[in-house]
Structure 1
Amino acid sequence: MTSLAKVPCTIITGFLGAGKTTLVRHVLENAGGRRLAVIVNEFGDVGIDGDILKSCGIESCTEDSIVELSNGCICCTVADDFVPALKSLLDRPNPPEHIVIETSGLALPKPLVKAFNWPEIASRVTVDGVVAVVDGAAVAAGRFADDPEAIARQRAEDDSLDHDNPLEEVYEDQLLCADLVVLNKADLMSATELKSVTGEIGKTLPKSVKVVEVQNGKVSVSVLLGLGAAAETDLESRPSHHDLEGEHDHEDFDTFVIDVPSFAAPQDLVDRIAKATGAHDILRVKGFVEIAGKPMRLLVQGVGARIQHQFDRPWRSGESRQGRLVVIGEKGFDREAIRAAIAG
Structure 2
Amino acid sequence: MTADELDLNELHVDDELPLDEDVPQLVETSTKVPMTIVTGYLGSGKSTLLDYILKEQHGRRIAVIMNEFGDTSDIESKAISVQSDEALVEEWLELNNGCLCCSVRDTGLTAILNLMEKKGRFDQIVLETTGLADPAPIIQAFWNEPALNLDVSLDAVVSVVDAAGIEKQIQDPRPDGSYNEAQRQVATADVILLNKADLVTPADLERVEALLRTINSTALIHRTTRSAIDLSLLLDLNIYAAPSAPFRPETLAPFSQPDATDSCDGCATGKPHEHAPAAASSSSPHANDISSLTIPLPPSLPSVTGPTSALYALLSSLLWEGTLPGAPSSSSTPDAFDLLRTKGFVRTDDGREWVLQGVRDIFDFAQVPAEATAAARAGESESAGEGEGEKTVQPKVVLIGRGLADKEGVRARFVRALEEGVARERASLREQDEEESSGGEEDDEDEEMGE
Relative to the length of structure 1, the TM-score reads: 0.53
Counterpart residue number, 1:183: 194
Match of 1:66 among 101, 111, 134: 101
The answer to whether the 8 A contact 2:38-2:129 is kept is yes
Match of 2:232 among 204, 222, 225: 222
Counterpart residue number, 1:39: 65
> Of the two, which has the highest radius of gyration?
2
**Shift in CA distance, 10/24, structure 1 to aligned 2, threshold 3 Å:** same
The answer to whether the 8 A contact 2:37-2:156 is kept is yes
Counterpart residue number, 1:114: 140
The answer to whether the 8 A contact 1:9-1:126 is kept is yes
Specify the SS of the correspondent of 2:51: helix
Q: How far off its partner does 1:119 sit?
A: 3.3
Q: How far off its partner does 1:95 sit?
A: 3.5
Q: How far off its partner does 1:133 sit?
A: 0.5
Distance in 1 of aligned mates of 2:361 and 2:72: 30
Q: How far off its partner does 1:41 sit?
A: 1.3
Identical-residue share of aligned pairs (%): 31
Aligned residues: 211
The answer to whether the 8 A contact 1:6-1:125 is kept is yes
Distance in 2 of aligned mates of 1:232 and 1:52: 35
Specify the SS of the correspondent of 2:180: helix
Distance in 1 of aligned mates of 2:131 and 2:241: 20
Letter in 1 for 2:36: T
Distance in 2 of aligned mates of 1:223 and 1:181: 11
**Shift in CA distance, 169/243, structure 1 to aligned 2, threshold 3 Å:** farther
1:128 equivalent to 2:160? Answer no
1:5 equivalent to 2:31? Answer yes
Residue pairs, 1:247-266, within 5 angstroms: none
Distance in 2 of aligned mates of 1:89 and 1:197: 38
Q: How far off its partner does 1:214 sit?
A: 0.6
The answer to whether the 8 A contact 1:110-1:177 is kept is yes
Letter in 1 for 2:226: N
Specify the SS of the correspondent of 2:118: coil
The answer to whether the 8 A contact 1:36-1:60 is kept is no
1:137 equivalent to 2:164? Answer yes
Unaligned runs of 5+ in 1: 75-81, 152-161, 245-344
Distance in 1 of aligned mates of 2:29 and 2:67: 26
Residue pairs, 1:1-344, within 5 angstroms: 5-30=31-56, 32-42=58-68, 48=70, 53=75, 58-61=95-98, 65-70=100-105, 72=106, 74=107, 82-92=108-118, 94-116=120-142, 117-119=144-146, 121-140=148-167, 142-145=168-171, 164=177, 169-206=180-217, 208-230=218-240, 236-237=342-343
Backbone CA RMSD of aligned residues: 3.4
Counterpart residue number, 2:378: none
Deviations 1:273-325 (A, max 9, x none): xxxxxxxxxxxxxxxxxxxxxxxxxxxxxxxxxxxxxxxxxxxxxxxxxxxxx
Relative to the length of structure 2, the TM-score reads: 0.41
Task: Report which structure shows greater RCO (CA 8 Å, sep ≥6).
Answer: 1
Counterpart residue number, 2:279: none
Distance in 1 of aligned mates of 2:181 and 2:361: 13
Instruction: Give 1 or 2: higher strand fraction.
Output: 1
Letter in 2 for 1:109: P
Distance in 1 of aligned mates of 2:119 and 2:171: 48
Distance in 2 of aligned mates of 1:143 and 1:123: 35
Distance in 2 of aligned mates of 1:198 and 1:30: 28
Distance in 2 of aligned mates of 1:54 and 1:10: 22
Letter in 2 for 1:10: T
